[in-house]
Chain A
Amino acid sequence: MGYVLSTEGFDRTLAKLGERYRIFAPVLKAGEGRFKDTDVIRYDYVRSLEEMELETRSDYSFKEILLPISETLFFFTEDQIREANLDETPVLVFLRSCDIHAVRRLDQMYMGNGANDDYFYERRKELVKFVLIGCPASCENGFCRDMGTDRTEDYAFSLDVKDGKVYCDVRDPELEDAFRPCAEGTEDVVPQSPGESDCHVERPEEVPLSIFTDAMWDEYTKRCINCGRCNFVCPTCTCFTMQDLFYTDNGLVGERRRVNASCMVDGYTTVAGGLEHRKKNGERMRFKVLHKVYDFRKRFGYDMCVGCGRCDSVCPEYISFANCINKLNARVKELEVE
């Protein structure tokens, strides 16, 4: 059912939903950017429409809710292992179409790769419903349309704000009661989708084995500073590293946690004894790029990258991921001719 609400009306809906759900949305954090007087948009709790940043794409994605940057898994006492508790309040997450497509990729890795599912991911995922933020236009550096992620019907409800009115397409019947008493009226609502983008990518269907050692990656050995921002902002990157520790004030007690990991950052492939499998930044770039637009598809049948463009925007060295995909495609074509 489609609802039209005033912004006040929508805030009343949010308040009603807030009684049952913890609500997460992109929020502009003033002054928390890299540089003085710059901001960052990342996910946080919200209570009202005003608190949400709906204009500009978030710098860091929703994935922090399903895969916390740092998550304690177990607490250890002298001889016991205790699983970390989880707040079991259901969660609503506001996100864009590309990011809803990213959820499928996270599910694939955590609940569809190998015989065992990821318990810690699964227990969070079960609590979450997704709210689609409509996109009136394509984002800076975004290429969702080329990746086929510019639309989705997989949401509990949608949100579009136009001329001071809020338009919601409610698909989850459990949520209707939060809208009905607050709405000004009902009508067919179709969430906005971004349309044409300035940024386009062409992906190779197949790549020859020689691409792995091709000189096209050398450029990135020189340009990339292996900071890993591209991975940390990516809504589809799922890698993590385990950390164990003794509490410094009581060595008998400690915990095991996992933290987001980046295949660009030093140590990602380092094994006990010190052997590191990918040392050059160009090799790491190749590993990442091919995963996003080739290796994942080989395994699961669809591409990992959703074209949100965050990695392009965040790179401190102005390395364009989208442009790298296009370079890859061009190089593969050249090699085919050879």
Chain B
Amino acid sequence: MAGKNEYTPVSSKIQKIIRHVPGEWTFRFTYVGPVKPGQFFEVSIPKVGEAPISVSGIGEDFVDLTIRKVGKVTDYLFDNYDEGDSLFIRGPYGNGFDVEDFEKGEIIIVAGGTAVSPIRGVVQHLCRANPADTHLIAGFKSPDEILFKADFAEWEKLIDVTMTVDGAPEGYEGRVGLVTQYIPEIPIRDISACKAIVVGPPPMIRFSIIELVKRGFNEENVWISDSRKMCCGMGKCGHCRIGGKYVCIDGPVFRYTEHRALID
């Protein structure tokens, strides 16, 4: 007999919605089960479609999915669902981050925009497990688009946080500039052993890694998180394949040395 039908989505209640900015909200979905930062769920709206969304927070009985309103499914979600409503999810899928790998030694995390989601859980873990040696550089397009403000306020008390925006109106007091320009400024004791996680839009990842390598980072110590069109989440539909790898099952987290051999 055929096994379990993994395509069947499971009903889940929206416990809470955090409206960061107009087009970017975190939905807290009821979920009990194993899940890791960097993994993703398919948010499944019957008759509308499914969208792969990475996990931005993990709790006892929930997962947070931070969602950008950019397509048919997410438009429908933003326009029709509120706290207390139920919809469907399936997952988690993908490998995710093994947070234990980053508990020892120095680590620098570079994140851009919505891509803070997959590393939020990693940062939360390291705030507890390795606060002294954790450095976070987060970049957003503008002050209006900064996500997870409350989290950043918390994190700043525990770890080294560099928050920057690409551009800002006159009078903005925070840092302005691309994440890449802050990479050389992060104080690192042993560059060759320092680990790095880079998440964000493809060009940001590319230029951040150039900066890291310039500083003498060992490429073997760099992780990235990728994303592609992922219809099934289970290595069947084929859309997310790059070369011999399926982003949905072999990723989305890759070692940089493995990922650079994957050419679209």
Contact = CB atoms under 8 A, between A and B. Distances in A.
- The answer on direct contact between A and B (beta carbons under 8 Å) is yes
A7 interface: no
Contacts of B3: 117, 119, 122
B71 A254 contact: no
Interface stretch (A13-21, A26-34, A54-62, A262-270): A262-270
A144 interface: no
A277 B236 contact: no
Contacts of A73: 7
B46 A273 contact: no
Contacts, number: 129
A258 B231 CA distance: 10
B150 interface: no
Interface stretch (B31-39, B153-161, B190-198, B242-250): B242-250
B149 to A, nearest CB: 24
B228 to A, nearest CB: 7
A10 B137 CA distance: 74
Interface residues of B, number: 43
Contacts of A268: 229, 239
Interface string B174-201: 0000000000000000000000000000
Contact of B237 (A126, A241, A283, A296): A241
B6 interface: yes
A114 B249 contact: yes
A109 B249 contact: no
Interface stretch (B14-22, B47-55, B100-108, B206-214): B47-55
B234 interface: yes
A110 B3 CA distance: 12
B49 A244 contact: yes
A299 B47 contact: no
What range describes how many residues of A lie at the interface? Answer: 35 or more
Contacts of B238: 109, 238-240, 261, 263
A114 B5 contact: no
Contacts of B228: 269, 271, 277
A239 B232 CA distance: 10
B87 to A, nearest CB: 11
Contact of A240 (B68, B73, B237, B249): B237
Contacts of A337: none
Contacts of B5: 83, 119-120
B9 interface: yes
B46 A74 contact: yes
Contact of A273 (B1, B48, B70, B264): B70
Given A81-B46, A254-B47, A271-B227, A113 B261 contact: no
A243 B72 CA distance: 12
Interface of A: 73-74, 76, 81, 83, 109-110, 113-123, 126, 209, 212-213, 238-246, 253-256, 258, 261, 263, 268-273, 277-278, 283, 287, 290-291, 295-296, 298-299
16 contacts: A74-B8, A76-B46, A109-B236, A114-B246, A118-B234, A122-B2, A212-B263, A238-B236, A239-B237, A242-B50, A253-B47, A255-B47, A269-B229, A273-B70, A283-B264, A298-B244
